[in-house]
Amino acid sequence: MPKITIIGAGAVGSTAAQRIAEKELGDVVMTDIVEGLPQGKALDILEAGPLLGYDSNIIGTNDYKDIEGSDVVVITAGIARKPGMTREDLLKINTKIITDVSENIKRYAPDSVVITVTNPLDIMTYVSMKTTGFEPHRVFGMSGVLDSGRFATFIALELGCSVRDIKAMVLGGHGDTMVPLPRFTTVSGVPITELMPESTINRLVDRTINGGAEIVNLLKTGSAFYAPSASVTNMVEAVVKDTKRILPVCAYLSGEYGKKDIYLGVPVKLGKIGIEGILELELTAEEKKALDRSAEAVKSGIASLNSLS
Ligand code: APR
């Protein structure tokens, strides 16, 4: 069985552990800085095994030694933005956490593929790649799978059709500047631009862009974790089963889409070694402009890392 480590046993991490165990994608190790939390949640998930009929082993730990030999490491450790906290405050705190976590991954799981989830996602993925020193194809982030899942959900609700037939594409940074691409979003192969008026598409695009905030507003405390953990599970599955799925992923660009030394959401081929290739879509001038704007936002976030102490 592949060994899958999840760092951060919070809402996203523990639900991802549950989904991964239920699908028997591998044995799971869950870690956290809080003592007892990963152990308690891991034992609870393990005890559901006989009831649901899965054989994955799952342990919780506070010791990084236990992640040795991991094939995949998922980083969900971090804090969420709290009222009164600026984006800069969040960036500073999570950069420190991701740096610490990544140093331990480098030391204890030097051959792993790393999937980041912590926000601000594109910047945290950059920090993890730089800190581990791993080849960029082995360090990538979960953003587009979730954003395109949300887009697909809203399209299905609008059309009253099955979500199964919808393939949605969302590029760019994971946030306000993401770039949903209606031209590359299809229902059984038919682009949605042929199925809905522009005004409807714009409404669904806006809802997708604000998808995370919509859930935060409803929950009042906490943020989304069911769909985020499902997105992580899809990506882990693509890696451990070497499926070579084409998914929108936060990937390191070195010239693709005219961008360099930046992480941005683009369609990639995912397999055992991580990102096996980046697909370059032919974008219209307007789509390109939106992607450029997104890249600028990520670039300025990366640039601000230098001023953190
Ligand atoms: N090492 C390990 N675990 C840590 C560390 C650390 N240095 N710092 C914090 N954690 C743990 C916390 O103890 C907590 O259990 O990370 C966990 C985060 O869990 P939640 O607060 O429940 O956050 P969650 O909703 O799971 O989101 C995690 O994913 O989607 C993103 O924006 C979200 O950045 C956030 C991350």
pLDDT digit string, tens, across residues 42-55: 999 999 999 999 99
Q: What pLDDT digit, counting tens, does each position of 3-44 carry? A: 999 999 999 999 999 999 999 999 999 999 999 999 999 999
State the pLDDT confidence band at 309, using cuts at 50, 70 and 90. Answer: low
pLDDT at 72: 98
Question: How many Cβ atoms are within 10 Å of 118's Cβ, its own excluded?
Answer: 27
The question of whether 137 is a catalytic residue gets the answer no
Q: Which residues contact 147 (CB under 8 A, 6 or more apart)?
A: 170, 174, 178, 180, 208, 211, 248, 265
Please pick, among 64, 174, 205, 237, the residue that the annotation labels catalytic.
174
Question: How many Cβ atoms are within 10 Å of 251's Cβ, its own excluded?
Answer: 28
pLDDT at 86: 80
Is the CB of 73 within 6 Å of ligand 1?
Answer: no
Measured CA to CA, the distance from residue 144 to residue 185 in angstroms comes to 13
Is the CB of 119 within 6 Å of ligand 1?
Answer: yes
User: What percent of the chain shows pLDDT beyond 90?
Assistant: 93
- Radius of gyration of the CA atoms of the chain, in A: 19
pLDDT at 102: 98
| 11 Cα to the center of ligand 1, angstroms | 8
Protein residue closest via CA to atom 35 of ligand 1: 118
Is the CB of 287 within 6 Å of ligand 1?
Answer: no
- Among all chains, which residue has been given the structure tokens 């209606």? 182
The full set of domains in the chain, from first to last, is 3-141 (3.40.50.720), 144-305 (3.90.110.10)
Is the CB of 97 within 6 Å of ligand 1?
Answer: yes
Protein residue closest via CA to atom 34 of ligand 1: 118
State the pLDDT confidence band at 103, using cuts at 50, 70 and 90. Answer: very high
Measured CA to CA, the distance from residue 29 to residue 5 in angstroms comes to 5
Please compute the mean of the pLDDT values over residues 186-200 and round it to a whole number: 98
